[in-house]
Structure 1
Amino acid sequence: MASTDLTMDSAGRMITADGIPLKRSLERAERKRKVMALALVAPLLLFLAVTFIYPIAQMMFRSVDNPQVIEALPRTLEALETWDGNDLPGEAVYAALAADMIADDQIEDRRDQKIGPLAVRLNYEISAARGAISRTSRDVEDFEAPFKEDFLEAHRLWGNPELWRIIEREGRPLTASYYVSALDRQYNAEGEIVQRDENRQIYVSLFGRTLMLSLGITALTFLLGFPIAYYMSIMPMRRANLLMICVLLPFWTSLLVRTTSWIVLLQQQGVINDILVNIGLLSDGNRLELMYNMTGTIIAMTHILLPFMVLPLYSVMRTIPPSYLRAAKSLGARPSTAFRRVYFPQTLPGIGAGGVLVFIISVGYYITPALVGGQSGRMISNEIARHMQESLNWGLAAALGTMLLIGVLALYWLYNRLVGSDSLKFG
């Protein structure tokens, strides 16, 4: 705006030619600029909301969502309000249960929509519940008062007070049962959360194994990737680009193909063991077990994730002037001292970026541990997939996934507090 378009009003304020105060005009222009910028990024924000934020929110809600008992047994839950929770409930509760199981019309549809999910949900809490509910729901129309006797004859589980305590406890719209199970805990007869039997504790150890494997793989990629990135950074650009192609070569091959190749290499009758036997380092009966264990997971994942460490390191090292090391040496520093006190500190942003990338990716890795990990090389992601695909316990899978997400965010928060995310440099 030209200076000739500005005048002064009676109050001494600068105004534009159309009589609007200059400050208000600038604020309006700033708001218009922000609205235009928001409109440009709105498609990206919408895409992230639909494909990233909404699925995560759905997963977190599913980990506490508990509609099955409320929808299928409203009369039973109302009748259980007067139950003391000790012995078996009275006849009124069994009569209410019979009324809930009997549909006025289209009993098959009701069984599919309400009774079926109820049976699956209660079976997560106590074994044989699915069979008890399914069998009883088919015969409940023939039951007559007193209903308690007919239910006890239909299946032994109706005479177990634990089942009724579970129905009463899970008769709420939200539940913490999935998180209790995910922490290797359970409810006892008094409704207290206690530790499971030792032979049934799997999830906490899986979380610990996942954390240790991820940290180990991050450390290995750093030890292998740092010399590669340093060598590339001091080479002429033409040779560095050629070596960069070799580093990026795994990205051009399917992940499944790379993992399968490691199976060929690592199995007991594979290439590596054959070479060691042929050169005499191993006897044919003492071949190394490199597959279907933690060793196979570490080797394969280190190879697959190595580029994620090399690229940030190289991008940082390439910007470090070589004159710094020459200056340190000219001032009397030994090469090792110059490298340790001058060069290495300047690579920390790349180390932090590569470490965060490798760690976060390895924490949630699935395909490689599933194919080469075996029992000792499985990670928590494999257990989440098993509940999603085989046991169909989506609530427990969502709880495990939510805990994994919160754990990663907590570790990132700790890193930010100790080091600072502003120190990361990805390129």
Structure 2
Amino acid sequence: MAMSDDAGDDVAIGNETDSKGRLLTSDGRPLRAALERANRRRKLTAFGLVTPLLAFIVIFFAYPIVQMMWRSVDNPAVIEALPRTLDALQDWDGEELPSEDVYRALYEDMMADEELPRIEQKIGPLAVRLNYEVSAARGAISRTSRNVDEFEPPYKEAFMDAHRLWNDTEIWRIIEREGRPLTASYYVAAVDAEYNADNEIVRADENRRIYVSLFGRTFAMSIVITFMTFALGFPIAYYLSSLPMSKANLLMIAVLLPFWTSLLVRTSAWIVLLQGQGVINDSLVGLGLIGDDDRLSMIYNQTGTIIAMTHILLPFMVLPLYSVMKTIPPSYARAARSLGATPFTAFRRVYFPQTLPGIAAGGVLVFIISIGYYITPALVGGQDGRMISNEIARHIQSSLNWGLAAALGTMLLVSVLILYWLFNKLVGTDSLKFG
């Protein structure tokens, strides 16, 4: 007799036993050991099959996320460029300007390694890093580094003559605070806060508070988009599920059509439709519903972003709903009506509760995708329709403040994970049905 495992190996069971009464295979091996060996071989084969996918996820998904989170707290620029200055600042009281010894240490740091291109290797990153904290720092450090080889004692006066910023205790407090390998400054800025003269975290000036409101706007717009896709997608999915398969498949092509069109093309089409001289406004003016001077403002604001994103994300709501509705037997609603329930009562108490797994799945998909959407808000959102993803992209592409961009991205990631955890506690991920 032979026993076959999932890997295709046959373990032939013999009729003999060993001295302990254990069954042996036909080749004299203990049966249990042979089965365990075959099971290990099966597991290794399965692991080998998934290894390419696992490696792809680790290299191109997990590793970049870890790098992003690390960059949000990594702070090497000041330590690498000003080691002597940081040592000299350890005895500084933070009230008056530092002593001559600190300025001498700063001179030595700027003069160190003259054979290397220090502007690119150390001084340049230092200037960029400190400029995130005080706007004049980049100009002060760049100008000073170009002339530092001409400085003579007393160095304190030489630095003060080179740039006014060296006569300000603020820059020295920043150098002392940021002279650590890890920093919380990016997260402090990401919540619209800043450090005061006593290194206490306080709220930033009102005209500099943008990130908290952007987070709030992003979540609010994502909720509205999720509700809009549900309001539009539920009747579509219900109608599709009630049609014969041949007709349902034909209409499903219309639902899937956006997937076959470039996202950029779809967004550009909405610009043509929604702009002041666009198709929708021209049609309303032509029908006499609005005057030529009262055209609707539907582009470069939140309205345009919500409309365009609702259209683009609608299939992500329809498909989970349709997959669940298709499995609900129509006899349930007929049985409820035969027992005296009105059509609305039968729908509300019998049919609708069975669609909740599809609603939950579609809602999670649409909401999470909406939070991180970038292209559509960038093209049709304008200033009022921007989302936090657009601000993250701006810091990466324009301001080059990658630490702040990483902090904002990490906060967005953590927010999504918290919402997903709450959803799992309140609803349960086991109830999700995607197909």
Q: TM-score category by the smaller chain?
A: over 0.9
Letter in 2 for 1:224: L
Q: In 2, distance between residues paired with 1:206 and 1:7?
A: 75
Counterpart residue number, 1:62: 71
Which of 51, 76, 83 pairs up with 2:92?
83
- Return the letter of the residue paired with 1:165: R
Describe how 1:159-308 pairs up with structure 2 within 5 A.
Answer: 159-308=167-316
1:236 Cα deviation from its structure 2 partner: 1.1
Correspondence for 2:32:
23
**Which residue is equivalent to 1:337?**
345
Q: Does 1:317 align with 2:301?
A: no
* Aligned counterparts of 1:41 and 1:150: Cα–Cα separation in 2: 64
CA deviation after TM superposition for structure 1 residue 9, in Å: 2.7
Q: TM-score, normalised by structure 1?
A: 0.98
Aligned position for 1:110: 118
* 2:434 counterpart SS class: coil
Q: How does 1:331-370 map to 2 (within 5 A)?
A: 331-370=339-378
1:7 to partner: Cα distance: 3.0
Task: Give the number of aligned pairs.
Answer: 426
Q: Is the counterpart of residue 33 in structure 1 residue 42 in structure 2?
A: yes
Of 69, 75, 80, which aligns to 1:71? 80
How far apart, CA to CA, are the structure 1 residues paired with 2:148 and 2:422? 57
Equivalent-residue separation in structure 2 for 1:308 and 1:6 (angstroms)? 59
- The percentage of counterpart residues that share the same residue type is 73
- State the SS of the aligned residue for 1:284: coil
Q: How many Å apart are 1:279 and its aligned residue?
A: 1.1
1:191 positional shift: 1.0
Runs of 4+ in 1 over 6 A off after TM superposition: none
**Matched residues in 1 for 2:27 and 2:213: separation?**
72
Deviation of 1:276 (Å): 1.0
Identify the residue that residue 145 of structure 1 maps to in structure 2.
153
SS at match of 2:293: helix
Please name the residue that 2:8 is paired with: none
Q: Secondary structure at the match of 1:125?
A: coil
1:151 alignment partner AA: F
Query: 2: CA distance between counterparts of 1:51 and 1:80?
Result: 42
Per-residue CA distance 1:264-313 (angstroms, 9 max, x = gap): 11111111111111111111111111011100000000000001100111
Q: Counterpart of 1:397?
A: 405
Where structure 1 has 5 or more consecutive residues not aligned to the other structure, the ranges are: none
Q: 1:143-198, CA deviations, whole angstroms, 9 ceiling, x for partnerless residues?
A: 11110000011111101111111101111111111011001111111111111111
Given candidates 124, 144, 155, the residue that maps to 1:136 is 144
2:388 to 370, 376, 380: 380
In the TM superposition, residue 26 of structure 1 has moved relative to its aligned partner by 2.2
Q: What's the counterpart of residue 94 of structure 1?
A: 103
RMSD, aligned α-carbons: 1.2
**Could you say what secondary structure the match of 1:286 adopts?**
coil
| Corresponding residue for residue 9 of structure 2 | none
The answer (yes or no) to whether the contact 2:72–2:404 under 8 Å persists in 1 is yes
Q: Which whole-Å CA distance do the structure 1 matches of 2:336 and 2:24 have between them?
A: 60
Q: Tell me, which stretches of 5 or more residues in structure 2 are unaligned?
A: 3-11
Q: Distance in 1 between matches of 2:209 and 2:114?
A: 44
1:45 aligned partner: 54
Go from structure 1 to structure 2 and tell me whether the alpha carbon gap of 1:4 and 1:281 turns closer, same or farther (over 3 Å shift).
closer
Whole-angstrom distance in 1 between the partners of 2:230 and 2:150: 70
Q: Which residue of 2 aligns with 1:8?
A: 17
Aligned partner of residue 298 in structure 1, secondary structure: helix
